[in-house]
Amino acid sequence: MKRSLFNRRPAAVLTALAALVLPVVAAGPAEAVTRDVHVSYIYEDSLGDVTYDIRFNGTVKSNGPTGYIIDGDFDGYCAPGALTTQYATLAYHGAGDAWGYKTRSCDELPEHFHFTGTRKRGAKIELQVGATSGIANTYGYGTKMSYDIDAN
């Protein structure tokens, strides 16, 4: 003999109906936040004259739980007179031990950057700019800045 759904206890029937009618809410990642980004490197020679002024101004935001988007303007000044080509770089870090770099000769600036990267879930994005201001074209860098792009 078959049992009808309505012959069961009322609580079981209500539970089954609720499962069909009520929406399922899944927990998702925290809401993303867009952060303004301002990183710079300024180098003065022994006379106090600015010989390098490198800047990146823009935004960084989440691109899902393990991604990010960096968008902004990379600009700078490198004093004339060097014997070799002078370079400026935007360094960025989101996942693992390796940093990524967007490097341009000073003559190619300004330039607009828009790119994506990956990060560990919940990781902050670190940015830093620099230039070949050292002996034998070694890089000098400004302060490393860290940006939390997940909602608190």
* Tens digit of each residue's pLDDT (9 = 90 or more) over 8-63: 555 444 444 444 444 443 334 456 789 999 999 999 999 999 999 999 999 999 99
Q: Give the position of tokens 């800045």.
A: 145
Q: Is the bond preceding residue 110 a cis peptide, omega within 30 degrees?
A: yes
Who has greater pLDDT, 40 or 137? 40
pLDDT of residue 31: 64
> Sorting pLDDT into bands at 50, 70 and 90, what band is 81?
confident
What does the mean pLDDT of the chain come to? 83
| Cα gap 113→23, rounded to integer Å | 42
Rg of the chain, C-alpha, whole Å: 26
Residue 140, pLDDT score: 95
Q: Kindly report the number of other CB atoms within 10 A of residue 39's CB atom.
A: 25
Is the distance from CB of 92 to CB of 127 less than 8 angstroms? yes
Enter the pTM of the model.
0.76
| 92/124 Cα distance (integer angstroms) | 11
73, 112 contact by CB (below 8 A) = yes
The predicted model gives 64-68 an average pLDDT of: 90
Check whether 134 has a pLDDT greater than 60: yes
Pick the more confident residue, 152 or 21: 152
* 76 vs 32, higher pLDDT: 76
Q: How far is CA 53 from CA 29, 35, 61, 74, in A?
A: 38, 23, 25, 11
